[in-house]
A and B are shown apart, each in its own frame.
Chain A
Amino acid sequence: MKKKITIVDYGSGNLLSAQQSFIKASNLSNIDAEIQISNDPTKLDNSTHVVLPGQGAFKTCMEGIKKIPGMQDRLCEFVKIKQRPFFGICVGMQLFADNSEENGNHQGFGWIGGTIKKLPSLETKLPHMGWNNIKVVNANSPIKPEENDYYFVHSYFFDCANRENVVAETKYGINFPSIVNKENVYGCQFHPEKSSAQGLNIIKNFINL
């Protein structure tokens, strides 16, 4: 069956890189997939997979989604009712949390329990920018990442309420979740679309779901 993957355009993030990486990953694994960028919530209805990118501040991203009439409801419907594979990148993943402490207190989707908190900056620079390794802490997830280096850019992290939702961790001052998964919802704190072959592998895993 042809996969229909929608990358949600809500005015945030480098959508073209995300799109290119999904095209590359599907070509590499011979998956017949159509990868579209769209800001039209109705496009989610016939999508098999949805990707939520995100750069910048949590609040700005959430507002960007809310500004598009019907988008938030359609996203929730896709995740909770249709229960199809959903992937968040960086702040796109952080939006899964219950809330974020970035510049105030802001509500997230609450799909994966926990809070977005600031990384400690006593011994380390912020943002955490560059390549860092991950350690797999839950091998049961359908996402099977290589224990390799991935490209990160962020100052906040997802403090997951439930340990079983953490697939992999990364150390930068503290250990924080770098890949999360709960049921049909998957997310990376790093940028798989900018993480060379190992990043494309994670995207392949997701497309194959």
Chain B
Amino acid sequence: MLKKRIIPCLDVKDGRVVKGINFIDLVDAGDPVEQAKFYSENGADEICFLDISASLEERDTMLSVLKKTAQEVFIPLTVGGGIKSIKNIKDSLMAGADKVSINSAAIKNPEIIKNASEHFGSQCIVVAIDVKKTGSSWMVHSHGGTINTNIEAFSWLEKVQNLGAGEILLTSMDRDGTKIGFDLDLLRESSKILDIPLIASGGVGKIDHFFEGAHIGQADALLAASVFHFNEISIMQVKEFLKKNNIEVRL
């Protein structure tokens, strides 16, 4: 049976983890390679790096992080943040990423999804979508959530799926950082629309939230950052809890 995936996300800036594990004695706690390795050895099903670098020089640093990670970590590796072109995607994949996530660039030019999935296969093209509820609908935001694009979320989901996205990474900006749980209405409605896998993100604060996201939200994968980094919950605890509640996970 196909398992629900648990994905820790690490923010990386200029080759260093900004928001990462701070509870164990890693030799170098700011080293993304060490953190990725730690998660991989402790039950993560995939690793997600979010590059929050500003400059081009820093982007090259991210490529060397990917290269080193690929030598140590043997589970799928996704990189997102600032992916703008086919060349960016190619560079990331050649450096050792298995998937790239595209956000603002897809909003600016949706054709990049089509071109990229035709070029590299849809399996490696994740479309990341940040949404915020306005009235009764969810609106897509770009540029790290700072700009309201006035695109309605569900129509965007359908569009990117048709363009060849391989997966959707859906973040509720309303829930992100709140620790009150995933936006289950958003997830449930999105699951109905999508034939491709849905990764839920934003709002996890306790272990039950993972269950809700998988069971009620029908997400295929659950992404979290701070609850793992601060050791509030371990990935294995999440998996054991899900297993006990009849949700299949990889143990």
Residues of B within 8 A of A (CB): 1-5, 40, 45, 67, 70-71, 74-77, 93-98, 120-124, 166-167, 194-197, 220-221, 250
| Least Cβ–Cβ distance between B208 and chain A, in angstroms | 22
Q: Would you call A127 an interface residue if the criterion is a C-beta within 8 Å of the partner chain's C-beta atoms?
A: yes
Name the residue on B nearest A15 (C-beta).
B94
* Alpha-carbon gap, A171 to B3, bound state (A): 12
* Chain A residues positioned under 8 Å from B3 (CB to CB): 130-132, 149
Cβ B74 vs Cβ A196 within 8 A? yes
* Chain A residues positioned under 8 Å from B124 (CB to CB): 14, 55
Residue-wise, chain A 84-109 has the 8 Å CB interface mask toward B (1 for contact) of: 00000000000000000000000000
| Least Cβ–Cβ distance between B151 and chain A, in angstroms | 24
Cβ A130 vs Cβ B74 within 8 A? no
* Alpha-carbon gap, A69 to B93, bound state (A): 26
Contact A16/B70 with A131-B2, A131-B3 known, Cβ cut-off 8 Å = yes
* Chain A residues positioned under 8 Å from B71 (CB to CB): 20, 23-24
A-B contact pairs, 14 of them (CB 8 A): A14-B124, A16-B96, A20-B70, A20-B71, A20-B96, A21-B74, A125-B197, A127-B197, A151-B75, A171-B1, A193-B74, A194-B75, A194-B76, A199-B74
Cβ A130 vs Cβ B98 within 8 A? no
| Least Cβ–Cβ distance between A13 and chain B, in angstroms | 9
Count of CB-CB pairs between chains A and B under 8 Å: 90
| Least Cβ–Cβ distance between A58 and chain B, in angstroms | 11
* Chain A residues positioned under 8 Å from B93 (CB to CB): 14
| Least Cβ–Cβ distance between A132 and chain B, in angstroms | 5
| Least Cβ–Cβ distance between B96 and chain A, in angstroms | 5
* Alpha-carbon gap, A132 to B249, bound state (A): 9
Cβ A128 vs Cβ B2 within 8 A? yes
* Alpha-carbon gap, A57 to B93, bound state (A): 17
| Least Cβ–Cβ distance between B127 and chain A, in angstroms | 14
Cβ A121 vs Cβ B2 within 8 A? no
Name the residue on A nearest B5 (C-beta).
A130
Contact A131/B45 with A17-B98, A151-B76 known, Cβ cut-off 8 Å = yes
Cβ B98 vs Cβ A194 within 8 A? yes
| Least Cβ–Cβ distance between A202 and chain B, in angstroms | 12
